[in-house]
A and B are shown apart, each in its own frame.
Chain A
Amino acid sequence: MSHWIIAPVVLPAVLGPLIVLLMRNDLTLQRVFSLAGTLALLAISVALLAAASSAGPEVYLLGNWPAPFGIVLVLDRLSALLVLLTAMLAVAVLLYVIGTGWDARGRHFHALFQFQLMGICGAFLTGDAFNLFVFFEVLLIASYGLMIHAGGGARLRAGVQYIAYNLAGSTLFLFALATVYSVTGTLNMADLSVKIAALPEGDAALIRVAGVLFLIVFAVKGALVPMQFWLPNTYALAPGPVAALFAVMTKVGAYAILRFFTLMFGPDVPATGTFYAEILYPAALLTLVVGMVGILGAKGLARLVAFAAIGSMGTLFLGMAPFSPQTTAAVLYYLVHSTLATAALFLIADMVLERRGTDTLAAPRPPIPQNGLIAALFFAGAIAIAGLPPLSGFVGKLLILDALRNTGPYVLAWSAILITSLIAVAGLARAGSLLFWKAYESPPEPVPHDIPPPARALPFVAVGLLLAGLVAMTVLAGPIMGWMEETAAQVHDPRPWIDAHALPQEEE
């Protein structure tokens, strides 16, 4: 049993308190340790990914208690992939934060950042439903702090909204967990999978209620319509790099839906069947439309990117709805792509905001410093998120379209994806031309609104890293897709996952 499985949780969990207790007053020291810790996390997650792809699911027993009684962490390809994605994103965001000095605008950024990483990695790795709730709360409570970093009235008010929405979601999560426990008497995910499959007919109604509650809770996290209302304000008003890190938080919801509804409420379970797929499909269509139309109507650049994030979640859930291995492989590819692309766009939006003083799309303003370079970055990011060739968004959408074609009626889903892509292209083109092009037509301001900050290389390196990730995903699409297909096959075959727990056989 490899102890490295718990490292992505323990490392940030140790580093966070160390930063807050010992390095409180020394920003340089905080930066060094935070960056070193995140790089170490990246190295660990690469090693975990290598371990997960060469062997089957591996279970880590916390405190060495046997499986259904103690809490377990489980490493399989899916969780290793998402932990790696989190670590990659964290490194880029951290470089950007250090480069722009966002961490100096408020206190305790790095400690909260580490706690956030701990919560996200824990949520991806845990094999216990209640423990998933606990990690959700860890990542949420850190995100509350990060979201209102550097303060401001509007940001604080959006923060209160965000907390209220997610607290209500957590309450629902607890209701769902209690319902599941009262029916099955366990909260270990592998044990639940076995118990739910063997449930007598009379208990089917209760477990169905629990299934729908879980779907609602994860839909809140994944910003699935009609649970998306918290996202635009939160992402648009959060500090840019924090919003970029939050790009992976919606994916926690997507991950949880994929895990729960393949492992526990699979399509061959008599008690639940495929009813949640029938719920997910129309909701995903609506999410897609709301997000992409929002791009066209957004009044600010950050809000535009927030709606793009909703739209990409719609595409993702639309691909996920059939719950077949082929679509899941495409969805996983798109998931990695959309996380990187959304994060890059949030960082670019923050660059524009920093130089322009406002990110409003209502009227052109004079050109910003480094206009050409930032325009080029925005152009690349917009191409990626809208799904135009040559970047990975195109490959991802093509894979999802192709996979949907083979899993039943596809006309509605195809037209939704294609038409909304066109709307997104129009919205992004409008924003880009207004921000970077028409800037030259507007009269220069008599006094610059702000002294332009000296050009620093590190923020551009951070955005460049994310975009380089997208390019690498495009170039290596073949091998990556091969790996994703094996991952999807593993996700849809929960038997080895359950067997790895070595559950005791029922004595009755």
Chain B
Amino acid sequence: MLFNSTEYLIFLPIVVCLFWLCPFKYRTALLLLASYVFYMTWRPIYGLLMMGLTIANYFIGLTMSNSPSQGKARKRFLVTGIWLNVLALCFFKYAYFCRDSANSVLALVHCQLPKIPFDIILPLGISFFVFEFIHYLVDVYRGSAPVKNFLEFALFPSFFPTQIAGPIKRYQDFCPQLKKPQKLTVQEFDTGIELLLFGLFKKVIVGDGIGMLVTRFFAHPELLTSVDAWLACYAFAFQVYFDFSGYTDIARGSAQLMGFKVPLNFNLPFLSQSFAEYWKRWHISLGMWLKDYVYIPLGGSRGGRFCAERNLFLTMLIAGVWHGAAMHYVVWGAYQGLALSLHKEWRHWADNVSFLKKIAESKPFKPFAILLTFNTFVFGMAMFRSETIDTGLKMTQKLLFLSPPPVGLNAFNLTLPSLSGSAIYPMLPLILIILAIGQILADRFPGPINGIAPIPPRLRFVRPVYLAAMACALMAFSPDIAPQFVYFQF
């Protein structure tokens, strides 16, 4: 069931109504049931996988908390739990990748691994709920109180608004919300609806619209000029942003309608002044998870600058692998790690060399830093979006103006695809400029980061009109068949 489908538009109001009609003591069970119904509409059998992992992690967490804090048993339980979760993830997500990678090595000695005799289909949201389980186990190991109520614990990874594509929650933030009765106020209801509509608008109108063009670009990289390639990568950057942040807003809005708060996942990342800041604003929950459960356990910034840079690189390599079971994701992760390491190196020199410090702190440097960070991110999108390393390299060559024919007038022709199709996108560069301006305006006014339009109180009559306009636009411009979210099968 996708958020932008008719089924969800029927499912959500029913669940919300039942939630508020239901006595408080049964609400957790109701939500749990609804979440499993939501999950199992895709493939019922994988509901068993989620339940199985939930039961295992619940008992491991309880057992760990009952073990002495300095004992070896506690550590053993932690390691077992982490391995269980990682193996589940690896089996479903990386089995084919590992086999194909091993085969490409074994091909050198004319050997091959046998074919996997059955189809392995990636369960929805496995990357997200596995990470939530690992976070739970590690935090319990470190001394946090475990969740004793099984229903509350089961709802934590399966909560339907965040089930499929996050944000990756922290149980210390989520589970206490189940203990106190929620109250529905008009304002909360309005905020939830506004977030829902705004999220749908971002996903359906902006993200999917740009996505159609991006698909066309990346299907024919050989036909692109360098300018086309940059346009394609900018378009993809915006597509992923609007698609994913739109999804998060829908998740937050859906949760808000039931009185739950879900963390923010995007904070205008394209306005970051450095790559480090970028990863604090883009997919915030993933960035924090990687910091707390990969970077810091690897040593963090203890052990000197080079150790820190090494740890950053390894962390982002894991982030790349997490995004997908393919080499181009690994390359993308390595690129992210390299960019972060280079930024760390730059920060070291900027802090210690007064001349560089002056430059870094000067006013004109800020827009330059924003542009540089944004373009660094966009450059990496070529590899992220391409379906193979080969295509990724072709696109990267074009981005570097290295593709034949050699740099010349041809490469600088301002070719503007004027494609037919949805009414909204006749001219891609114009749209990208408008979106970029939108980001800047959103930064200046409070509210848009949270998905709420910054309408002044004296013009409060505008808000219903704005919501109505969004709803009508959604109905008029949504496709008949809802395309998937980009992060759907992570």
The answer to whether A and B interact is: no
Using a CB–CB cutoff of 8 Å, the interface residues on chain A facing chain B are none
